[in-house]
Structures are given as C-alpha cells and as structure tokens.
Amino acid sequence: MTVPMPTSKPKRRISPTDLSMQIFLLVIGLIVATPIIIALFTSFKSLQDISANPHTLLPREWTFENYVTAWNATPFGRYLLNSFIQSGVIVICQVVFSVLAAFAFSFLEFKGRDLLFYLILGSLMVPFQLTFIPNFIMVSELPERCFALLGETANLCNNVGANTYFGLTVPFLASAFGVFLLRQFFLSLPKDLHDSARIDGAGNFRFLWQIVVPLSGGSISAFAIFSFLGAWSQYLWPLIITNETEMRTVQIGIRFFLANQERGTNWGALMAGAVIVLLPTLLIFLIANRQLVKGIAMTGLKG
C-alpha cells in the first residue's frame, strides 16, 4: 500500500496590477503617515537637536523632557478628562439613540415612517457650520430659560449652558449617519425573526436588546468607533463654547499652549502634546481595525 505524498499548494502569483496597486497604496500610506512620524520623532528631540542644521529625522539624543514640559505647562490631565467625558457621553448617546431609531425605521410600521427617515437623511447634507450660530445661541441662553422656568434657586441650571459638559455635548447627542448606518444592517436581518419573537410573546424592546443588538455587534461597534473619532477630534465647537481653563478639551489646550509661548515655539513640547492627543485614537484604530472594516462590510456600504 502506497501512501500518497502530500502535495504542496501552488504559490499564488501576484499579478502586475495587484503589485502596482499595493505599491500605490504603500506610497499613499507613507505620505499620510509622514506628519505623524515627524511629530513622533520630534517629540523625543532636544531643543538643540531640533534647531540643528542639517535636520535629521531620528533624534541624535533621545529625551522624554518634552513630554514632561507639555504635561506641566498646562493642566493636561484636566484637558484629557474633559475630552474623555465629552467623547464618552457623545458615543453612548449616539449609539443608544441610533439603535432605537434604526430599529423603528427597520421593523416598525407607522404613518410617515419613510418621510421621517428621508428628513433625517437629508440632515446629512446640512453642514455643521450652518447650524453653528443657532446652536451657540440656544446653548448660551439655556441657563436664563432654566432659571425662568425652575426659579433662581435651581442648582440644575448652573450645569447647562456654556462652560459645561452639557454645552459641550448636547448638539451631538444624535447622529443621522448612525441611524442610516445601523438601519442598513437591520434591514438585512430576516423579518421572520421579528415575527417569531412576537409569536413567542416578546415585545419590541425585548426583541431589540436580546436578538437584534447581539446580531448587530459588528455594525454597532463600527459606528461607536466612528462616533468616538469624530467627538475626540472636535475643535471649533469646544473653542467657542468654552472660555474657562477647567472646561477646555485637549485640542483647545494645545492651541492655548502654542499661544502662550513667549520665547518662541517649543516644537518638541508641542509635538509631545500632539502625540498624547493622537494616542487614544491611534490605539483604538489599531485595536479595532478589523472590527471596523467588518462592521462597514456588514452594513452593505462597502463596494
């Protein structure tokens, strides 16, 4: 009896088209990553190394002094806390509201459902700059309206308006993009699941949280990542709505750190601050990259 020899799988040959595409993507990736690489290496350079001529990409002498300077020059810890609170509240509210709205537009039948969805979808075409002034006026006047409604002794009114977490987050608690993204995936779920759940006596909320949400983990995670990246990188709204140091976010903190440099810009400390700000988003992207791509593909938006 002869034992058949294992056959090795033929090596997959890369076509010239695939090779050129990979080279093109590699070049584009390097171009996009160049500012980040320069900022990272500059944050470890001394002042003499930064001002040396000719310049070098790698530090001649590695130092962590720039990170200590950036952390101590401004209340960086407070800025990070504000950014995490702002981003966390926005992500939680956007995910919850988007899941509920997407479920209603996917599984529930009510009058004007399609029209309401198209109105929400149309809001994606309205730039935030167009609603910036109305939002600012509304948030700024909230304390006065709150005191007029609840009385001058209402402590709750001190936590709304400008220079509050409420003012930082309230214009972004709902996301039309999230409603659209999750609705696309919910529509791909079999309608028989909803019918079977109703026959078994499960209400809409039970069906949503015990069946729909577990099946939609990838899409919900992808949207949560998008929501966090958008909330963390906000600059214009926190710049306008906050004028107190203890309520500024990290992006605004770096802007004022740059403005307070009286003896010239300390590029090493500035780049160290930028790396600290970039680190959370970079870690989330590296950790959840596969989940992000999978979630987008599952919604039917890919290709």
The yes-or-no verdict on residue 280 having pLDDT over 70 is: yes
pLDDT band for position 57 (cuts 50, 70, 90): confident
pLDDT for res 129: 82
The yes-or-no verdict on residue 133 having pLDDT over 70 is: yes
- Three-state DSSP at 124 gives helix
pLDDT for res 95: 95
pLDDT for res 69: 86
pLDDT for res 294: 65
pLDDT for res 301: 46
Residue 92 contacts residue 220 (beta carbons within 8 Å)? no
Query: What backbone torsions phi and psi does residue 262 show, to the nearest 5 degrees?
Result: -80, -30
Residue 165 — left, alpha, or beta (φ > 0 → left; ψ -120 to 50 → alpha)?
Answer: alpha
Q: What is the mean pLDDT of residues 35-58?
A: 86
pLDDT for res 227: 92
Q: pLDDT > 70: what percent of the chain?
A: 88
pLDDT band for position 264 (cuts 50, 70, 90): low
290: tokens are 């596969």
The yes-or-no verdict on residue 54 having pLDDT over 50 is: yes
Give the residue, 128 or 88, on which the prediction is more confident.
Answer: 88
Q: Helical H runs in 108-216? A: 113-122, 128-150, 165-169, 176-186, 191-199, 204-207, 213-215
DSSP string computed for 55-120:
--SS-SS---HHHHHHHHHTTHHHHHHHHHHHHHHHHHHHHHHHHHHHHHHHH---TTHHHHHHHH
Rg (CA), the chain: 25
CATH number 1.10.10.10 given to 60-298 = no
pLDDT band for position 296 (cuts 50, 70, 90): low
pLDDT band for position 48 (cuts 50, 70, 90): confident
Per-residue pLDDT tens over the stretch 99-112: 999 999 998 888 98
Per-residue pLDDT tens over the stretch 194-231: 888 888 888 888 888 888 988 888 888 889 988 998 99
92: tokens are 């939680």
164: tokens are 């509050």
Model pTM score: 0.84
Residue ranges per structural domain of the chain: 60-298
pLDDT for res 266: 80
Give the residue, 9 or 179, on which the prediction is more confident.
Answer: 179
- In this structure, which amino acid lies at residue 226? F
Q: Cis check for the bond before 16: say yes or no (omega within 30 of 0).
A: no
Q: How far is CA 29 from CA 24, 103, 182, 227, in A?
A: 9, 37, 29, 23
pLDDT for res 147: 79
